[in-house]
Amino acid sequence: MDAKGKKILIADDEPDILEVLQYNLVREGYEVTTAKDGEDALIKAKSTHPDLIILDIMMPKKSGVEVCEILRTQPVFHDTLILMLTALNDEGFQIKGLESGADDYVNKPVSPKVIVSRVGALLRRSNKESAEKVLKRGNLSIDPTKFEVVVDDRQVTLAKKEFELLYLLASRPGRVFLRNEILNQVWGNDVIVGDRTIDVHIRKIRQKLGLDCITTVKGVGYKFVN
């Protein structure tokens, strides 16, 4: 996937800043949404699921720090990049910003160049790990955009959870995923499901693929092999 074409949400109460940033980021190829205060930011974040959110710390309704903290409690936004905008010499807030879960922050007055550079750096950094691309492992092909798995020219239909589980395991072949890791990644941090749930999904995957590509590591977890 391209580094560009990513979705960015900008939240600031100063229309001038919104406009300047939007203009510059759009020119770089990003898809930009804007919000005018903290609550608006939360609503827009939920509806558009951006890859990166730029939050001004000083905003009406809810501050950037508050918005950040709220977002971080939700699994969907666990990996969403957050970039804070803060007034100079506002040390207390700078620290609070990082502690609340922001990935980076930039001092005001903002320079478009710096913002673009930082946004690029953040996205590049995260891109390495979580890029959604087609995985090919031997005679197995897993396409997350089409939500499709192909084994030896035979197309297999997996349910959502089954697919996500397989994709997770196949994303790092050989690596053992602990049951906890799997729960966090596929189900989310706060969801509580029974012990056998993972097993049952693993079974279904093995059954449907008709392929012995998932190995059980007793007492530890599961891993993808090929």
Partner DNA sequence: CCCAGTATTAAAAAATTGTAAACTCAGGTC
Partner DNA sequence: GACCTGAGTTTACAATTTTTTAATACTGGG
- CB–CB of 93/61 below 8 Å? no
Q: Does 132 bind DNA (CB under 7 A)?
A: no
**In this structure, are residues 163 and 146 in contact, taking their beta carbons and an 8 Å threshold?**
no
**Backbone dihedral region of 53: left (phi > 0), alpha (psi from -120 to 50 degrees) or beta?**
beta
**193 counts as binding a second copy under rule CB under 8 A:** no
Counting residues that bind DNA (by CB under 7 A) gives 26
**Contact between 20 and a second copy per CB under 8 A:** no
Omega cis (within 30) before 144: no
Nearer Cβ to a second copy (122/183):
122
Query: Applying CB under 7 A, does 75 fall inside the site for DNA?
Result: no
Q: Say if CB 83 and CB 54 are below 8 A apart.
A: yes
Question: In this complex, which beta carbon is closest to a second copy, that of residue 47 or of residue 117?
Answer: 117
Per rule CB under 7 A, is residue 216 in the interface with DNA?
Answer: yes
By CB under 8 A, tell whether 176 contacts a second copy.
yes
Our finding on whether 218 is near DNA (CB under 7 A) is: yes
Number of residues that bind a second copy (CB under 8 A): 27
Q: Per CB under 7 A, does 189 bind DNA?
A: no
The length of the chain is 226
Whether residue 104 contacts residue 84, with contact meaning beta carbons closer than 8 Å, is answered with yes
The Cα 52–Cα 21 span in angstroms is 13
Say whether residue 184 binds DNA (CB under 7 A): no
Scan for tokens 């558009």, then name that residue. 48
Positive or negative torsion for Cα 175, 180, 185, 187: positive
Tell me the two tokens of residue 5.
């074409």
Q: Which stretch binds a second copy (CB under 8 A): 3-11, 37-45, 71-79, 105-113?
A: 105-113
Beta carbons within 8 Å of 175's beta carbon, 6+ residues apart: 223, 224
Minimum distance, C-beta of residue 75 to DNA, in the bound complex (Å): 12
Contact 99, 131 (CB under 8 A): no
| Partner from a second copy, DNA, none contacting 148, C-beta within 5 to 8 A by type | a second copy
Residues near DNA (CB under 7 A) are 157, 159-162, 179, 187, 191-197, 199-203, 206, 216-221
Residues near a second copy (CB under 8 A) are 91, 94-95, 98-99, 104, 107, 111, 113-114, 117-118, 121, 145-148, 159-160, 174-176, 217-220, 223
